[in-house]
Amino acid sequence: MQKVDLIEGFRNPEHIKALAELIKKEATHKINIMEVCGGHTHTIMKFGLPQILPQTIEFVHGPGCPVCIMPKERINHAIELAKMPNTILATLGDMIRVPGSQTSLQKLRAEGKDIRSLYTPLDVIKIAKENPEKNVIFFAIGFETTTPMTAVLLDTVIKEGIKNIYFHINHVTVPEAVDTIMGDGDAKIDAFLGPSHVSVITGYKIYEPIVEKYNTPVVVAGFEPTDVMESILRIVRQFNTGEKRFVDNEYARAVSREGNIKAQELINKYMKKREHFRWRGIGDIPKSALKLKDEYAAYDAEVKFKQVLPTQELDDHKACICGSILKGLAKPYDCKVFGKACTPSAPMGSCMVSSEGACSAYFKYGKLTAKGA
Amino acid sequence: MSKKILLSHGGGGEETQSLIKDLFFKHFENDILLKMEDAAALTMNTKRIVFTTDSFTVSPLFFNGGNIGKLAIAGTVNDLVMMGAKPKYLTCSFMIEEGFLFSELETIVMTMRDEMAKSGVLIVAGDTKVVPKGGVDGLFINTSGVGEIMVEGISAHNLKPNHSILVSNEVGNHGACILARREDIELETELKTDCASLWKPVEALIEAGVKVVAYRDATRGGLSAVLNEWAETSNVCLEVDEDKIPVAPEVKGICEMLGFEPYEFANEGTMVLCVEEGEEQKALDILHKFEETKKASFIGKVNDKYENRVILNTPWGSSRFLEPPKGELLPRIC
């Protein structure tokens, strides 16, 4: 097989500098760009892109981190499920670090509960087969990117007749969140960087209604620094040409208009929209999340273990300004508790809880200023 | 049926004696060990010695390019070497889970023998415990070591502005290799641990009189942990250039896929060096002669722009702080 370079070419210093020069020259008016996805926030901060961009380009860090937007009551669900006897709770990534109202999955694991952090949802099959006497509950999280893997897992469970796997579904969807942020009128957002991996699954057609409704460009961008820089240039040029706004696709090496149809079909086979889902820091967004269809209720942990799941809704501390950060009305540094009472090891608000959150990225990569500033 | 380690092998009786003689003495043989006294009587050639200990637990026990035995020797040898000392003697304790395969234990012991030959260090005392199933995960090893200080004044407290920072090899290979093995990530190319004893290259630096301020092997926490510890202990700023830090393409790939930083991955045979200004090329010329340090690179300078911070410069003119690693390494989600 021929080797394909997917990293170095997209970090070519000469290309990045050349793009920065073009943006400096062409971005004559202020543009607030929301990067919807936490992966982009990470790229922007890790590669220090604001330092090489002109003052006219301002980033607004969006709600696209699946761990950050999980309300505390859903984390409490995971905790109560993990406390049940004969249970293994499995989930992805840094979900296990995030505190609910009392404790986190990580702390519970240290107390002896069986909690697994997975690299891929399909590992649940192996865990269930090795532990036939236990119930394995998959606490499924993520945007459209990870949803197909959950659907594949359920598909496999049904086909293989595995009886000890249950699903607690927390999959959320991008367009409704963007619509909510734009819909209340305060948000200061002129354009969007569209998510990379989400769009691989959904196709870029899902952003067409947003452009139509709010007359804001959306440019689907890859995660590498040249991707982000090129996409910013494309946004600038959409404004400068003065024509009708449109969805542009910079990440054409992976994203099509229609997306991964097979993955979409699999999701639609097993899941449907929830009427309501509360997002941490934002509040209720109708039809912004998925659940298992009624005919698969036998696999639904929210049905099967309903009696142990708390129902109380829990908000973040009053001092937390995550809602304003997510709407582009404030920056992490504007928050009084940032880096003081709220840190990645003891997060108070949604933007600090995961490495993909805006506050966490600011905390980790910091702001380089002159000495003594 | 293949031979297994039984609880009786740790009981102190006949089986214990046969395990010691047929396995440990056979491979670790030297005059001091074979005296079988309660403690080893040692002769040292210097007044000042260095002394260290480390325990080794790794899952899986065998990985690409090494096993727990190689780690247990190289790890302790390197801790001595990083103080500018010649490694001399080790002690070694095995904590073995009942039912462990004798053949696997012998493979590990033979690897330890071969790794010791690279620096001339000897195991002069040891201990074996066998614990019931579930008591340990297969095998834990502890090694302690003493060495003779060959050059005084090597310390992480002595970094000053204008000193230079070098790294001896690609960073992150061991961490990425273990992660790939543990999580069944299949790679098309062979990624090997960097595990190696560093006495030979350091001996050559000492013999050539290269003015080295500090050495540190970048084990857990990786390059990032060492740079941050140095910045803090010497109260200085370390400024390094991302494009000069050698990282294997496979390691970069794994990091991109899972959202990790190669600078936070563990190494087992890669050191960071601080040398006086003007000594960079002399050090590199020597390091490049040895297989285990042939990818050595001059990555940055010490300055006083900040206190206790590490700055990472990108090749396109931006920079960021390189934070010390925190918490568990958890993969990104999407």
Domains present along chain B, CATH in parentheses? 7-149 (3.30.1330.10), 164-321 (3.90.650.10)
pLDDT recorded at residue A9: 84
Q: Do A355 and B259 touch (CB under 8 A)?
A: yes
- Any idea where the domains of chain A sit in the sequence? 10-65+175-249, 72-170+261-308, 322-362
Q: Which residue from A minimizes the CA distance to B237?
A: A371
Instruction: Please identify every stretch of chain A with a pLDDT value under 70, giving residue numbers as ranges.
Output: 1-4, 367-373
Strands (E), B43-194: 49-56, 62-63, 66-67, 85-97, 122-131, 139-149, 164-167
Q: How far is residue B330 from each of residues A97, A116, A355, B302, B327, measured CA to CA in Å? A: 9, 11, 9, 31, 9
The confidence score (pLDDT) of residue A219 equals 98
CATH 3.40.50.1970 fits A72-170+261-308, yes or no: no
- Written as six digits, the tokens of B74 are 């190289």
Residue A60 carries which side chain, given as an amino acid letter?
A: V
Stretches where chain B sits below pLDDT 50 are none
Give, in order, the Cα–Cα distances in Å from A177 to each of A283, B34, B127, B201: 10, 73, 62, 57
Residue numbers in B near A7 (CB within 8 A): 249, 252-253, 256
**8 Å CB contact of A145 and B334:** yes
What per-residue string of b and e applies to B54-65 under the rule 16 or more CB within 10 Å gives b? bebebeebbbeb
Contacts B317 to A, Cβ<8 Å: 17, 51-52
Task: Please measure the distance between the N-terminal and C-terminal CA atoms of chain B and give it in whole angstroms.
Answer: 47
Pick the CATH number of A10-65+175-249 from 2.40.160.20, 3.40.50.12160, 3.40.50.11750, 1.10.150.120: 3.40.50.11750
- How high is the pLDDT of residue A358? 87
- pLDDT attached to residue A168: 98
Whether A253 contacts A39, CB under 8 Å: no
The CA–CA distances, whole Å, from A12 to A6, A68, A226, B320 equal 12, 31, 8, 18
**H and E: helices and strands count for chain A:** 16, 13
Round to whole Å and give the CA distance between A183 and B105: 66
- Asked if B332 and A355 come within 8 Å (Cβ–Cβ), the reply is yes
A46 with B320: Cβ contact below 8 A: yes
